[in-house]
Amino acid sequence: MKTFRTILLAAALVLGLATASQAADMVRKVDSFDFLADYSGSMMMKNPALGMSKVAAAKQVLSAINNTIPDLGYKASMHTFGPGAGVVSYGDWDKAAMQAGIASLKTDQPIFSRMTPMGEGLAANSAAYAGMARPTAVIIASDGASNTGVDPVAEALAIYQAQPGICFHIVSFADTEEGQAILDKIAGLNHCSVTVNGADLLADQKAVDQFVADVFYTTGETEEALVLHGVNFAFDSYALDEKAQGILDEAAAVLKEKNAAVTLEGWTDSIGSDAYNAALSQKRANAVKDYLVKQGVPSSSLAAAGQGKSFKYDNATEEGRYLNRRVELLFK
């Protein structure tokens, strides 16, 4: 008996250590996320296979996802479309507040005369998405029915083109081929997308765990970037000096070898106004992109984004200001 208890204790210790080690190894895959719930008439309809309305199932699944996301310092928001509304304001992710937001969705809204403007729903949130910390995950819980307004696939594509670092993930409650086809097309726009069947998540917590692991955190893979200091420009200009061109020649070789899509971010120190630095950093990011393209890096794999002032390093010292003035090439 005593031996058995010792074995149990040892096993518990090993399991405990393994769990602790796993938790310690979790790192954020995204810095922010948005739950985008389809709130249209078709979602109010009962799905016999689910045994409830699709919106009720979506609420349960989003709630399970929210409860499973580890506390790694995300920022978050929640929106609906059909009609479009902000449910949870963007800010530091608060699990309880998100649960309350999900719970606030009604399941007894009218079905008829409530079309599904999915494309408009995406377009309406585009500005909000632009302000979210990158990388950003948008989790769309929908049946894919889109029967009014602009093309949702085209809208998703427009957001991808304008906003590097965002990714749409699909939790499908589709019960028509057309609906699933639309969701599949959105997922097919970018290889970053994870698509799951809402019914699978409803039935199995392990499927929820897997979805959360795929979208929200990683235990191994992490963000990767090439950081360049000394890419100097003439004062108040965005003309690259000769030395900067030499550095970018070397960077182009690294990029060509890597052959990956890259977001190019330009950062400045804190001297000058916000508006001035924002504009200057964008022009400089564009100049760096143009130069890299001339060196043979495919233009389609580079997205340039001026980030303005950086406060990562201490702007009170020359050393810190030098480190803040940098170009980061983030590999996707």
Partner 1 sequence: MFRHYLMGAAVWCMLIGAPCAADAAASETQVQAELQSFVNGYVSKTNRSMTCSKARPKVFKRGGKYVATYTEIDPQSTSAKMKKSNSKHFDYIATLRYEERTYESVGNTQKAARGGKFQCVKIRRLTELPRYVKGKWEN
Using a 10 angstrom Cβ sphere, with 0-12 exposed, 13-18 middle and 19 or more buried, the burial of residue 6 is exposed
Cβ nearer to partner 1, comparing 57 with 76: 76
Smallest gap from Cβ 160 to partner 1, in A, equals 23
CA 106 – CA 104 distance, rounded (Å)? 6
Smallest gap from Cβ 249 to partner 1, in A, equals 6
CB 87, CB 78: distance < 8 Å: yes
Window contacting partner 1 (CB under 8 A); options: 115-123, 157-165, 166-174, 243-251: 243-251
CB 45, CB 51: distance < 8 Å: no
What's the token pair of residue 161?
Answer: 């083109």
Say whether residue 239 binds partner 1 (CB under 8 A).
Answer: no
CA 8 – CA 10 distance, rounded (Å)? 5
Smallest gap from Cβ 253 to partner 1, in A, equals 9
Among 51, 131, 188, 246, binds partner 1 (CB under 8 A): 246
CB 142, CB 118: distance < 8 Å: yes
Classified as helix, coil or strand, 116 is coil
Say whether residue 178 binds partner 1 (CB under 8 A).
Answer: no
CA 254 – CA 84 distance, rounded (Å)? 44
The residues, ordered by sequence, that sit 6+ positions from 65 with a Cβ below 8 Å of its Cβ are 35, 139, 171, 201, 208, 211, 212
Smallest gap from Cβ 294 to partner 1, in A, equals 16
Say whether residue 222 binds partner 1 (CB under 8 A).
Answer: yes
Among 46, 89, 178, 311, binds partner 1 (CB under 8 A): 311
Say whether residue 212 binds partner 1 (CB under 8 A).
Answer: no
Among 11, 51, 89, 249, binds partner 1 (CB under 8 A): 249
Smallest gap from Cβ 80 to partner 1, in A, equals 22
Smallest gap from Cβ 95 to partner 1, in A, equals 7
Concatenating the DSSP letter of every residue in 39-64 gives: -SGGGGSEETTTTEEHHHHHHHHHHH
Say whether residue 274 binds partner 1 (CB under 8 A).
Answer: no
Window contacting partner 1 (CB under 8 A); options: 9-17, 118-126, 177-185, 310-318: 310-318
Smallest gap from Cβ 217 to partner 1, in A, equals 9
CA 183 – CA 123 distance, rounded (Å)? 16
Cβ nearer to partner 1, comparing 42 with 136: 136
CA 265 – CA 269 distance, rounded (Å)? 14
In the region spanning residues 54 to 113, those forming contacts with partner 1, defined by CB under 8 A, are 71-73, 92-97
Among 1, 2, 5, 24, binds partner 1 (CB under 8 A): 24
CB 132, CB 157: distance < 8 Å: no
Cβ nearer to partner 1, comparing 274 with 314: 314
Which residues are near partner 1 by CB under 8 A?
Answer: 23-28, 71-73, 92-97, 222-230, 242-243, 246-247, 249-251, 254, 311-314, 317, 319-320, 323
